[in-house]
Amino acid sequence: MKKTSRGALGLLGAVSLAVVLVGTSGSLSAAEETAEAPKPHHKHHKEAKAAEAAAPAPAPEPEPAAKEEAPAAAAAAAPKLPPYFSGASPDPAKPLWPDPTGANSGVWATPAGDGKGDVPGSLSVTDVYDRMTHNLFGINFVWALVAGFLVMFMQAGFMLVETGLCRSKNAAHTASMNFMIYPLGCFGFWVYGFAIGWGNWFNGPVAPGWYASLGPGTAVLNGGWGLGAATDAAGALTGAFTYGIIGLKGFFLNGAVNDVGVMVLFFFMMVFMDTTATIPTGAMAERWAWKNFCLYGLWIALPYCLYANWVWGGGWLAQGGLNWGLGHGAVDFAGSGVVHAMGAVIALAGAIVIGPRIGKYINGKPQAMPAHNLVIVCLGTFILAFGWFGFNPGSTLAGTDLRISFVVVNTLLASATAPIASMLTMSWKGMKPDPSMLCNGMLAGLVAITAPCAFVNPMGAAIIGAVAGVLVVYAVFFFDNIGVDDPVGAISVHGVNGLWGVISVGIFATGEYGAGWNGVVREAFVTAYGSDGVRGLLYGDGSQFVMQVIDAGVVAVFGFCMAYAWFKLSNLITPIRVSEETEVEGLDIPEMGAHGYPDLAGLIPTHRVAA
């Protein structure tokens, strides 16, 4: 998502194209030597910029007789690459980035922005390369934006699922929460969320030779705070930290980040955050007071973006591989943990604080409160499944990353095996195939595959989805029986299976993809397997499993504690729960002033009236 994992990915296409340019000098840079390795999800250097990291170490001082040959040898060994690779401006007094038009990211073709025309025979290899690179960035821009459009459309799916699973007297209220969480969450993300989560994104750990798929302008995301400030060889601060904690650049998308690539990243990450934000609206439906909900909508970016910084923004969990030797650090490709588990643990805290609906428990036993429209629940589930093909593959942030085909197929398979497993589980328990549970089964499979979708093979994806389909059935009954009233099963779908998805990376990742992820390149794994991709317990790396368990524990504890404290505090500002009279009547008129179904309320004649 992101996405780096939803964050930034290395630009294989750009690195591979460097062969054309470097070939003219008869040398191959270190960046090209790693071109076959899949990209890391997070963009970060601790000691050097990308182009500097690609260059060989300085040679010893030559003897006097050899000094004349030294410049030529150095030039051959370390060819000069265009500045749009590293994001570093040749003249600091005239910075090329932020770039609000994209003119400094290669050259447009037809008409050419450099004034050299577009006649192939009159262009040098470098000129053609500039045009190819600009088009490459353009492909990645379109890919990430269109994928983001699909994720935005998922809000419609959430609205249909949650509204359909609630009672008709609360339809307008539930639908309106799903609608308004989008602008409220977007506003908070623009004001402060993006800066906290991605303000120091460019200083996160990455593989040698990494280049940003969304262009060099993302290099301006270089302000943050953490523990253990890193320095370069000259002793100057690099902006990186041994333990990254928070980003501090980009509040209100101010002029310091006024760049085309940053805008793509902002949009993509914003629609992901709104997925997290809408999860509690289901778990707390049918009794959540509107004013308190609005305060929540402005607050949600805080816990979400802090944790996202730790995993996707180059923070301390992503650095677990470098600092603690645990695999490749926390790995969450599209957000089983960052998006779904975070939203669910917030929902769990909210459901506990707000309490169960009136009539849900009689003498301590849970009572069924049937959904009012299973047809729109099924429709909403299909919309969500469709949007997930933007959610997961789009998290490459690069249409030029051909691994997207695996991501699509793995997402598809998990969404297929999960509802089948849910159906069989209910049958084994002597139950009918309840459509709402089948829908939650499919969503559970999609949630679970979100973190591992790029790292597992199709068989692994099918197994992950099937396990999710079983887990969601048992989880729904578990929370019901312990007194947590979740009208739509959001905690079971997104929480239990979000955590399962995070942990499954540490079990089923094959090592085929993710070489250099989060800056980790272990010679022992390169020697044994040919590259050091992300691999789990079944494929030779138990340390990755340990790191994934740590990551799952952090999101559960941090998210729950932050949310519990917030809901207690916000309840002091304005009540979190509606009055008993309002809840019994239904929230539509008292809270929203409009019925979701006025005909059911007897407000619209359903028969012919005599003149």
Reference 54, options 33, 72, 36; nearest CA is 33
d(CA 155, CA 159): 6
Which residues of the chain register pLDDT less than 70? 1-78, 109-112, 601-611
The per-residue pLDDT for range 34-70, each reduced to its tens digit, is 333 334 444 333 333 333 333 334 444 444 444 445 5
The per-residue pLDDT for range 512-558, each reduced to its tens digit, is 999 999 999 999 999 999 999 999 999 999 999 999 999 999 999 99
C-alpha distances in angstroms, 339 versus 62, 89, 202, 307, 602?
A: 55, 35, 21, 10, 41
pLDDT at 570: 98
Q: Which residues contact 416 (CB under 8 A, 6 or more apart)?
A: 445, 462, 465
Say if CB 227 and CB 242 are below 8 A apart: yes
pLDDT at 39: 41
DSSP string, 196-239: HHHTTGGGS---TT--BTT-GGGGG---EEEEEEEE-TTS-EEE
pTM of the model: 0.86
pLDDT at 65: 47
Say if CB 86 and CB 216 are below 8 A apart: yes
Q: How many CB atoms lie within 10 A of CB 42?
A: 35
The verdict on whether omega for the bond into residue 111 sits within 30 degrees of 0, i.e. cis, is yes
Element (H, E) at 246: strand 237-247
d(CA 518, CA 197): 16
- Domain ranges for the chain: 139-590
Q: What is the CATH class of 139-590? A: mainly alpha
Q: Which two tokens stand for residue 193?
A: 């969320």
